[in-house]
Structure 1
Amino acid sequence: MATHIQDQEELENFKYFWKSWGRWLFTVLVLVALAYLGHVWYQNHQLKKDQQAAEVLAQMVEKAQNQGDQNAIRADLADLQQNYPGSIAAAQGTLMAAATEFDNGKYDVAEGHLNWVLKNQKAPLVQALAAQRLAIVYLQQKKYTEALTALDTPVDADFEPLLLETKGDVYAAEGKAKEALAAYEQTLNKLPKEAGNRELLQLKADQLK
């Protein structure tokens, strides 16, 4: 009998709990489920977009390798930048275009491409590469102040040596041996012992002593 009364009390407590809080809990569960489904949909959607961007990049690279129509190549690049701006494919395509324009002496166009990468791409390696190459574009034009400004772009610690070495190159080109040596030595201190470019970097530093 006592057990039956206890069961009835628990049932009444449950009914009260459900009446008071049940609908809110149900709403929360629905929201959580919708959020999860939204996350899954976003991931699948993003994967699909990345695949589409990779296909556009592949077409662009093939045209470039076969010395295809430049207007078609530029159209592919515009497609990447407009429709897939956050993708790695867009970064790769834009960096490739910047290199081509640099080789052709179109430094202003190369500069525009690299600034686009810095604005639209957040991957640490991509940011570091774009900043370093932008500095080289300025260095080629003897725009030393602009080059150093580009090299002040904040990057992950792993990529700081890349920018520091280039900063040394800028100072050396500018005739500032003391600053160049300091930049090279700073780079050596940050580089891993097994880094392949340590010997060349040490040679650069030694020539300034």
Structure 2
Amino acid sequence: MARHFDLEEQEQIAQFKHFWGTWGNLITWSVIVIMGALAAWNGYRYWQARQAQQAVAMLDAVQVAAQSNDLERVQQIFADLSKDYPRTVQAGVAGLLAGKEFANAGRWKESQASLRWVIDNSSEAGYSALARLRLAGVLIQEKSYDDALAQLSVSFPPEFAAIVADRKGDVLDLQGKKQDAIAEYRRAYDGLNEQLAYRQVVQAKLDALGAGVPAKEGA
């Protein structure tokens, strides 16, 4: 049996019909947009996870190839990884590894290409900074001292300041700019933790230039 609504209920129904007639389409489309956004976000998260899994597998393959000294395979896998998954952390790590392995083999051109890719594409500031440091080392080996200094003269994260100064000192020393080299080595020495063994290496460089390390006040 059909239910009969009282006057108050009929008024509420009429008000709802009026409200829905005015705002119904907007509400419906808003719900569709929200649900679509949620679906897209879930899809994006799945895509990210899938990319990360594949990138990890490819990085593992790069590491295995490097351990086997198969540089051609290192180059090929890194090329595929950097092309297919350029935004992943693994691509940056693979680029650093490839640059290091090629440098160890004296293949400066390939080393430069790998390191420059990291500099230009990595979203991790630390990876880009490390790639610049290694690239400067490669350029030093090629006696491209001005280019090496150019790489070391850009902005670096603060934690790299001491090692950048040390590398600058190396370049300036090779250019015969003794006083400038001493200034950079002292900056590096002052910036390194006293407990770090590398601080003694910097001190040895200063000693070799006849500069030594200034005595501390009150010593």
TM-score by length of 2: 0.77
User: Structure 1 residue 29 and structure 2 residue 31: aligned?
Assistant: yes
| CA 40–183 in structure 1, closer or farther in 2 if over 3 Å, else same | farther
Which residue is equivalent to 1:104?
A: 105
Which residue is equivalent to 2:91?
A: 90
Which residue is equivalent to 1:174?
A: 175
Deviations 1:55-74 (A, max 9, x none): 12212322332344x44333
| CA 187–14 in structure 1, closer or farther in 2 if over 3 Å, else same | farther
Structure 1 unaligned blocks of 5 or more: none
**Pairs aligned (count):** 205
The alpha-carbon deviation at position 133 of structure 1 amounts to 0.5
Equivalent pair of 1:56/1:80 in contact (CA under 8 Å): yes
Give me the identity figure in percent: 29
The alpha-carbon deviation at position 40 of structure 1 amounts to 2.2
Q: Distance in 1 between matches of 2:102 and 2:157?
A: 27
Deviations 1:147-168 (A, max 9, x none): 0111133333333333233222
Q: Which letter maps to 1:44?
A: Y
Deviations 1:76-105 (A, max 9, x none): 222212212222222222222222221222
Q: Distance in 2 between matches of 1:196 and 1:20?
A: 75
The alpha-carbon deviation at position 206 of structure 1 amounts to 6.0
Q: Which letter maps to 1:53?
A: A
User: Structure 1 residue 63 and structure 2 residue 68: aligned?
Assistant: no
Deviations 1:9-35 (A, max 9, x none): 666554444333332233223222322
Q: Distance in 2 between matches of 1:40 and 1:196?
A: 49
Equivalent pair of 2:96/2:114 in contact (CA under 8 Å): yes
Which of 25, 39, 42 is residue 41 of structure 2 equivalent to? Answer: 39
Equivalent pair of 2:66/2:101 in contact (CA under 8 Å): no
Q: Distance in 1 between matches of 2:159 and 2:20?
A: 55
The alpha-carbon deviation at position 177 of structure 1 amounts to 2.7
SS in 2 for 1:126: helix
* CA-based RMSD: 2.9
Equivalent pair of 2:74/2:98 in contact (CA under 8 Å): no
Greater Cα offset, 184-193 or 114-123: 184-193
Structure (1 or 2) with the larger CA radius of gyration: 2
Equivalent pair of 1:131/1:153 in contact (CA under 8 Å): no
Q: Distance in 2 between matches of 1:12 and 1:175?
A: 92
Q: Distance in 2 between matches of 1:7 and 1:109?
A: 80
- Counterparts of 1:15-164 in structure 2, within 5 Å, are 15-68=17-70, 70-164=71-165
Equivalent pair of 2:148/2:171 in contact (CA under 8 Å): yes
Q: Distance in 1 between matches of 2:58 and 2:198?
A: 34
Q: Distance in 2 between matches of 1:55 and 1:117?
A: 19
Structure 2 unaligned blocks of 5 or more: 1-5, 212-219
SS in 1 for 2:156: coil
Q: Distance in 1 between matches of 2:27 and 2:115?
A: 50
| CA 31–207 in structure 1, closer or farther in 2 if over 3 Å, else same | farther
| CA 201–80 in structure 1, closer or farther in 2 if over 3 Å, else same | same
Q: Which letter maps to 1:145?
A: D
Equivalent pair of 1:167/1:183 in contact (CA under 8 Å): yes
